[in-house]
């Protein structure tokens, strides 16, 4: 009897399936007024400014947020997805240096910012009339706002002020032009004019300095001594009258 042999089919080894998640860079980015990076926008007072933020390279709708400085801008529902616009109107001095930022709602690190550079000629203010006693010190403060920064000069009675090193002192910052006069004299009476000049124009403001007569000063020590003497005289007068009163009775 012939022996039959069966061929065994080898059991296949299990196959290890490895799955992994591929990370595909989408290149999503934003732009504001066609700028994909932060920028400065220069303009003048008055006309409105429009800022338009767009989403690029996105396969889905993206919500956008606008910020003015650290505060979030309130946007209407139809002005939030994929494209968003803000309008600054009217443009004024307080907008100078302010940063507007457009950010992706789901990832606020994706953003583009614009700094407003509002240019305007000098605008001046300050106390117009100053009364000061003779031999006292006085300071005339001319408040000045401008962009670009203005530079100043002082006039007295329509003539350039001649500065005396021992009596006059000037101090200027981006918003203040100050004239200090030490120990004012009657000759310092007059109209002082602050003139600020920049590339966009100039501005002036008049200050009227009135030097008053020096008030008499009484020494405190002498006054105190006089009061003490009067008090002593009154005291002894009362005592003397009392002694006389008791003698009568």
**DSSP output for 23-64:** ------EEEETTBSS-EEEEEESBS-EEEEEEEES-SS--BE
Model confidence at 109, pLDDT cuts 50, 70, 90, reads very high
For residue range 165-206, what is the model confidence (pLDDT) as tens digits? Answer: 999 999 999 999 999 999 999 999 999 999 999 999 999 999
| Structural domain 29-119, CATH architecture | Sandwich (2.60)
Per CATH, 29-119 and 126-212 having the same topology is answered yes
Domain boundaries, the chain: 29-119, 126-212
Q: What is the mean pLDDT of residues 54-74?
A: 96
- Measured distance CA(228)–CA(111) in Å, rounded: 79
Q: Is the pTM of this model over 0.85?
A: no
Domain 126-212, CATH among 3.40.640.10, 3.20.20.100, 3.40.50.10490, 2.60.40.10: 2.60.40.10
For residue range 115-157, what is the model confidence (pLDDT) as tens digits? Answer: 999 999 999 999 999 999 999 999 999 999 999 999 999 999 9
HSE on the CB side for 137, CA within 13 Å?
A: 8
pLDDT at 233: 77
pLDDT at 21: 25
Q: Which residue has the higher pLDDT, 7 or 187?
A: 187
């Amino acid at each position: 009897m012939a022996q039959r042999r069966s061929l065994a089919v080898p059991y296949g080894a299990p196959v290890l399936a490895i799955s992994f998640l591929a990370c595909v860079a989408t290149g999503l980015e934003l732009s504001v007024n066609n700028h994909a990076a932060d920028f400065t926008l220069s303009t003048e007072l008055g006309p409105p400014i429009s800022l338009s933020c767009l989403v690029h390279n996105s396969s889905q709708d993206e919500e956008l947020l606008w910020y003015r400085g650290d505060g979030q801008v309130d946007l209407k529902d139809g002005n939030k997805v994929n494209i968003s616009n803000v309008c600054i109107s009217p443009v004024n001095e307080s907008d100078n240096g302010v940063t507007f930022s457009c950010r992706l709602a789901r990832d606020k690190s994706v953003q583009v910012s614009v700094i407003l550079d509002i240019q305007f000629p000098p605008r001046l203010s300050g106390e117009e009339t100053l009364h000061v006693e003779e031999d006292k010190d006085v300071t005339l403060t001319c408040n000045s706002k401008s962009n670009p920064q203005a530079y100043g000069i002082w006039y007295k009675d329509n003539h350039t002020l001649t500065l005396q090193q021992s009596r006059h002192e000037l101090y200027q910052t981006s918003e203040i032009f100050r004239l200090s006069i030490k120990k004012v004299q009657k000759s310092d009476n007059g109209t002082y004019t602050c003139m600020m000049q920049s590339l966009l124009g100039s501005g002036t403001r008049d200050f009227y300095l009135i030097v008053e007569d020096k008030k008499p000063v009484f020494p405190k020590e002498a006054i105190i001594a006089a009061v003490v003497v009067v008090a002593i005289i009154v005291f002894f007068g009362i005592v003397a009258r009392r002694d006389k009163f008791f003698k009568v009775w």
